Amino acid sequence: MYVIIVYDAGIERLNKIRIFLKQYLNWVQNSVFEGELTKAEYMKVRSRLKELIDDDLDCIFIYHVRDKKYLGIEELGTRKAEIDSII
């Protein structure tokens, strides 16, 4: 499946979330990752994210399509280079 993950978390958890997601997905922009995951990887990512976030303060949306062919992606402006460590 093809996955887009957007997250809004406390600054003290952002780095952990980013480092974790980088193991499975591609960094797209600030707080956004996307990429291909197997169903097993998806379950692992979802479960680990649940552990990493503060359930009352943070929010993560995981959008997924069964196949990338169902997803149109349009990019406006200039994609930034990833900043490896913002904090």
Contact set for its own copies, span 9-38 (CB under 8 A):
9, 28-32
CA distance 85 to 74: 26
Binding-site member from 40, 73, 85, 87 for its own copies (CB under 8 A): 73
| Nearer Cβ to its own copies (41/62) | 62
Place of tokens 């887009």: 4
Cα 40 to its chain centre, rounded Å, is 16
Interface with its own copies includes 60 (CB under 8 A)? yes
Among residues 30 and 38, whose Cβ is nearest to its own copies?
A: 30
Strands 59-65 and 2-8: antiparallel
Binding residues, by number, are 8
